[in-house]
């Protein structure tokens, strides 16, 4: 695991948006950030899952979260702008955004990639990340130190047979992260990416249905890097893709 000792309350007074907060790694990150003192904004596709995470955070006695039901597949630039302006009005600033939601699409031989799958994966994993980042940056700039975190993958800097559009999309994600990191190098905003590594989630099970799930770390176990990048301890880290395990 990434070697970072988590300090209690290290995210106190921070407002943090997590996309894909209803399940898997995003859910673990949202709950972890809340436990460390942050007010979390839970964005995801399925309202019932977001409500369950909301309840879990309230039952832990943490700051009350906010819920934003949004499907990244159909959302427009205006949806993201409205969301960012609402965050600025309600919280005064945004200290961090974990862009975690993504879709796997279909694993298939390269010559059999469906155009529709390509379009969907690129829309959710690349275009939506660009639009959401464009909209959030002005609100992130209201914070003293702000952290924008993208989510890559092992196939985001080394292509792998049959991983098609998902792999292309993660290369693009790392490229986008580096462009933003370079543009905002001398500002309050740092931009990095996480490669979670094989983690016990629904997406992983879809990609590797036959593997022994118990041999994989849980989302909770890979949180040290997610906390490091969101906390002020990483204010001098910019433009990096770091491995959570
Ligand atoms: P899961 O599929 O378990 O969870 C993904 C989350 O993203 C879900 O909450 C899902 O919402 C949400 N989501 C998916 N599509 C959309 C959409 N169109 N709009 C809004 N929300 C959406 O994935 P993981 O937790 O495994 O993955 C999290 C991130 O980590 C991803 O970016 C993935 O690529 C990356 N990753 C994961 C690895 C692993 O081994 N698990 C390895 C390498 C990278 P809902 O539940 O409502 O559908």
Helix (H) or strand (E) holding 109: none
Name the active-site residue from 33, 54, 80, 166: 166
Q: How far is the CA of 24 from the centre of ligand 1 (A)?
A: 7
Render the burial of 205-240: b for 16+ CB within 10 Å, e for the rest: eeeeeeeeeeebeebeebbbbbbbbbbeebeeebbe
User: In this predicted structure, what is the pLDDT of residue 116?
Assistant: 98
CA 125 to ligand 1: nearest atom: 32
Residues within 6 Å of ligand 1 by CB: 20, 22-26, 44-46, 49, 71-73, 100-103, 124, 151, 153, 196, 198-199, 201-204
Q: Collapsing DSSP states into helix, strand and coil, what is residue 42?
A: strand
Tokens of 149: 């975190």
Tokens of 108: 């298939």
Is residue 245 pLDDT above 90, yes or no? Answer: yes
pLDDT digits (tens, 9 = 90+) for 119-162: 999 999 999 999 999 999 999 999 999 999 999 999 999 999 99
Q: How far apart are CA 178 and CA 184, in angstroms?
A: 10
The verdict on whether 166 is a catalytic residue reads yes
pLDDT digits (tens, 9 = 90+) for 198-209: 999 999 999 999
Q: Which position has the token pair 């597949």?
A: 73
DSSP letter for each residue of 173-216: HHHHHHHHHHHTTTSSEEEEEEE--S-SSHHHHHH-TTS-GGGS
How sure is the predictor about 3, in pLDDT bands with cuts at 50, 70 and 90? confident
User: In this predicted structure, what is the pLDDT of residue 31?
Assistant: 98
- Residue pair 14/37 in contact by the 8 Å Cβ criterion: yes
- pTM for the model stands at 0.98
* Domain covering 15-232, topology: Rossmann fold (3.40.50)
């Amino acid at each position: 695991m990434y070697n970072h000792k988590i300090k209690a309350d290290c995210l106190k007074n921070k407002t943090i948006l997590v996309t894909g907060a209803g399940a898997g790694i995003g859910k673990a990150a949202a709950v972890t950030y809340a436990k460390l003192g942050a007010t979390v904004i839970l964005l995801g596709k399925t309202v019932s899952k977001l409500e369950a995470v909301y309840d879990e955070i309230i039952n832990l006695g943490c700051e009350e979260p906010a819920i934003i039901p949004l499907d990244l597949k159909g959302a427009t630039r205006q949806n993201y702008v409205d969301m960012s302006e609402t965050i600025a009005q309600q919280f005064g600033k945004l200290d961090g955004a974990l862009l975690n939601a993504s879709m796997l699409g279909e694993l298939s031989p390269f010559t059999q990639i469906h155009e529709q799958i390509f379009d969907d994966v690129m829309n959710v994993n690349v275009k939506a990340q660009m639009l959401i980042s464009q909209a959030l940056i002005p609100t992130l700039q209201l914070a003293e130190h702000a952290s924008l975190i993208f989510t890559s993958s092992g196939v985001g800097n080394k292509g792998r047979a049959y991983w098609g559009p998902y792999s292309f999309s993660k290369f693009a994600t790392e490229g986008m992260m580096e462009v933003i990191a370079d543009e905002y190098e001398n500002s309050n905003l740092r931009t990095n990416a996480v490669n979670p590594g094989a983690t016990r989630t629904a997406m992983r099970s879809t990609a590797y249905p036959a593997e022994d799930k118990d041999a994989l770390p849980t989302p909770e176990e890979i949180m040290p890097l997610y906390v490091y990048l969101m906390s002020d301890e990483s204010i001098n880290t910019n433009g990096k893709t770091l491995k959570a395990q």
